Amino acid sequence: MRRMRRPAGAGSVRLRLRRKPRNIPPFWRRIDAGLLPLPTADQQNGARGIRHVQRLVLAARRIPCLEGGEGRLYVPILHERWARAELTAYARENRPLPQLPPPHAYRNAPWMLIGPVWLVAWHGLAARWWPGTDHLPAAGHWKELGSLDVFRTAHLGEWWRCLTALTLHSDINHLLANVVFGSLFLVMLGRRIGTGPAWLLTVSAGGLGNMCNALYRPLSHNSLGFSTALFGAVGILAALSAVRATGKGRILLPLAAGVGILASIGTGDLEGRVDYGAHIFGLLAGILLGAAYGKLLRLWPEPSLPTRIICGLCAGGLLFAAWCRALGLG
């Protein structure tokens, strides 16, 4: 009986076998397949650059490896899982961070300078600089009503002093130091997040910093000045940079500038001494509020104009309500 031949390729399955290169010992496994992609900087160097980086990673962990044909990497079978874990961890740790869109820059420097100008006008009113102010109480009376007297604030519950103390200064040098150098940080913050949110966060950080300072200081302590809020603005700027992950240099720049300028020239208590506690608590309060607002900006990148106006009115309303309470009007 004659046996018929099956046509070539009919019903047959061809398996493509890849042989290991001759320089690869037995029981070594290929480990460069199925890994996470390397960072973009390594991918730009091409396949040879990627293999070079992978070999450096394995060499750093003292994992033996050899490069076979077509640039494939092989390791001993007992080191396979370890090698894959190291290469995966390297790719995961060095992957590029998601790039956020650049923050909107507000052109509102004149609006941010209204606050320092108001501080000068208010100080002149309390010090009887302006014509027609001779009938007003003396500056000592205003300080008695609004300074951060720890006994009256913490023991008697006059918490509005945490806000009114921000608007008072011991003398003209204290005022000019806070106004001149504080304007730089306020303009930077306003350009970053807008006029209304910048003033609301700054005033809130100053009030929160004074509240913490009143709880920390002895009952005999008495301080005043806007520098607590200015340190809060510095903390807000640093926290916003940290939340956006824009680099350590941009995070440390406002912190270093604020500490170097305000701590060297700013005075905080009625005797002209620097109130480091108020500055530190203001900075910490600013970092806390800035981090929270930075998280909010990720969900709401650019608040609307009515929202920014409402924030500005709330900042002014807090100070107005505090002084009404101090004067016994509310």
Stretch 107-130: mean pLDDT, rounded? 87
Stretch 298-322: mean pLDDT, rounded? 90
Task: Note the pLDDT tens digit of each residue in 8-52.
Answer: 555 554 545 455 666 678 888 888 666 656 655 455 455 666 777
Three-state DSSP class for residue 67: strand
Stretch 284-311: mean pLDDT, rounded? 88
The mean pLDDT value of the chain amounts to: 80
pLDDT at 162: 93
Cα 194 to Cα 189: distance, rounded to the nearest angstrom: 8
Residue 166: how many other CB atoms lie within 10 Å: 31
> How is residue 269 annotated by DSSP?
B
According to CATH, the superfamily of the domain at 109-326 is: Rhomboid-like (1.20.1540.10)
pLDDT at 22: 67
Q: Which tokens go with 202?
A: 């700054």
Three-state DSSP class for residue 223: strand
Range in 37-46, 141-150, 299-308, 315-324 with the lowest mean pLDDT: 37-46
pLDDT at 166: 92
Q: Which tokens go with 237?
A: 């700027």
Cα 159 to Cα 165: distance, rounded to the nearest angstrom: 10
Radius of gyration of the chain (CA): 33
Cβ atoms of 296 and 184 closer than 8 Å:
no
Percentage of the chain modeled with pLDDT above 70: 75
Cα 224 to Cα 323: distance, rounded to the nearest angstrom: 14
Q: Is the pLDDT of residue 283 over 70?
A: yes
- Of 298 and 100, more confident: 298
Phi/psi class of residue 26: alpha, beta or left (left: φ > 0; alpha: ψ in -120 to 50)? Answer: beta
> How is residue 134 annotated by DSSP?
T
Residue 59: how many other CB atoms lie within 10 Å: 11
Task: Note the pLDDT tens digit of each residue in 197-239.
Answer: 999 999 999 999 999 999 988 888 888 889 899 889 988 988 8
C-alpha distances (whole Å) from 254 to each of 192, 203, 204, 237, 294 are 13, 18, 19, 7, 16
Three-state DSSP class for residue 21: coil
Q: Is the pLDDT of residue 68 over 80?
A: no
Q: Is the pLDDT of residue 275 over 50?
A: yes
Cβ atoms of 71 and 47 closer than 8 Å:
yes
The residue ranges of every structural domain in the chain are 28-91, 109-326
